[in-house]
């Protein structure tokens, strides 16, 4: 897996070198936009962007909570790409699904960024209709990444800049949130939920924010039989529930009555996850600029300008 990621990072860097490099302003050292594409939303409200493989355009989910970019089994078959077993490792997705094959796609074009070839994991997981794969941290983390949900734009910027204030789209006040980057490229920061400080991961691939039930019980001191805990779905691995949390705060952003799903540990099936997955229910209401190199998020309301 390490080798695969190294290869992916190298290719992602190549993508950057081949970019048309359009400067957003004339100042030296300013932001350089490497790619800009339309960003639509799938039926679950998650961001989708077009990526061309061999001249055919496919919609990919942009997933900051993923690991490596993926193509669905169906897409790999449709393109006639080879499926190669991963030799030394596998990837476990939310829900416990194992990914153990990869492929190499050729003739890539992403909003003007071009690459001769690019590795993808091959996922057998069902995707939303019209979604062919996932664009994830192997590519994202070598750029600065902007989600402009209100204007339906997804932008990549080169990290080599000296601009200090990266909330370039607004003259209004904005939030700057320092984060740490996990070893798999996840953006993690502390949030405050009902007065308790917990670790969260920013996950554009999650259509709802989620918390692990057992951890929530430990942190907030409620039990399975708490009358405030409402079961909203049942599965063979335990109930999915909701709890009436009052306030979620992070970096100057506060959300009242956050809509957080509580999943049992066995359902999530991912060891070592941060407590809170901050999903699109919150994120789609924000304008986000992720400065991976500086490890800082720049945030305004989605409609701010």
The site for another protein (CB under 8 A) is made up of 38-41, 43-45, 129-130, 149-152, 172-177, 207-208, 247, 251-259, 281, 284-285, 299-304
Closer residue to another protein (CB): 60 or 299: 299
CB of 254 to another protein, least distance (A): 6
Closer residue to another protein (CB): 16 or 258: 258
Neighbours of 295 (CB within 10 A): 15
Closer residue to another protein (CB): 150 or 190: 150
d(CA 293, CA 35): 17
CB of 101 to another protein, least distance (A): 22
d(CA 185, CA 141): 7
Closer residue to another protein (CB): 91 or 156: 156
d(CA 97, CA 92): 6
Both tokens assigned to 51: 């990526």
CB of 255 to another protein, least distance (A): 5
CB of 57 to another protein, least distance (A): 13
| 146 close to 289: Cβ distance less than 8 angstroms | yes
Note the maximum CA span of the chain. Answer: 62
Both tokens assigned to 76: 């790999």
CB of 215 to another protein, least distance (A): 23
d(CA 296, CA 227): 39
Closer residue to another protein (CB): 208 or 295: 208
């Amino acid at each position: 897996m390490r080798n695969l990621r190294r290869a992916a990072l190298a290719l992602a860097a190549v993508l950057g070198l081949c970019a048309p490099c359009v400067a957003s302003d004339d100042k030296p050292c300013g932001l350089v936009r490497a790619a800009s594409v339309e960003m639509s939303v799938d039926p679950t409200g998650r961001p989708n962007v077009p990526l061309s493989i061999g001249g055919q355009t496919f919609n990919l989910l942009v997933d900051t909570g993923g690991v490596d970019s993926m193509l669905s089994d169906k897409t790999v078959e449709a393109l006639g790409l080879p499926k190669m077993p991963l030799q030394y490792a596998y990837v476990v997705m939310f829900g416990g699904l194992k990914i153990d094959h990869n492929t190499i796609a050729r003739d890539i074009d992403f909003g003007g960024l071009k690459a001769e070839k690019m590795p993808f994991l091959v996922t057998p997981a069902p995707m939303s209709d019209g979604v062919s794969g996932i664009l994830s941290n192997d590519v994202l983390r070598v750029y600065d990444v902007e989600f402009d949900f209100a204007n339906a734009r997804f932008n990549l910027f080169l990290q080599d800049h000296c601009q200090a204030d990266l909330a370039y789209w607004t003259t209004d006040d904005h939030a700057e949130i320092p984060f740490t980057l996990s070893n798999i490229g996840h953006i993690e920061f502390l949030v405050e939920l009902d007065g308790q400080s917990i670790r969260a991961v920013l996950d554009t691939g999650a259509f709802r924010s989620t918390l692990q039930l057992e951890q929530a019980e430990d942190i907030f001191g409620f039990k399975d039989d708490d009358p405030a805990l409402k079961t909203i779905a049942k599965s063979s691995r335990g109930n999915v529930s909701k709890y009436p949390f009052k306030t979620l705060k992070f970096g100057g952003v506060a959300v009242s009555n956050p809509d957080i799903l509580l999943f049992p540990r066995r359902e999530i099936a991912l060891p070592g996850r941060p407590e809170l997955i901050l999903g699109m229910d919150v994120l789609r209401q924000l304008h986000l600029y992720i400065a991976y190199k500086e490890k800082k998020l720049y945030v305004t309301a989605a409609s701010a300008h």
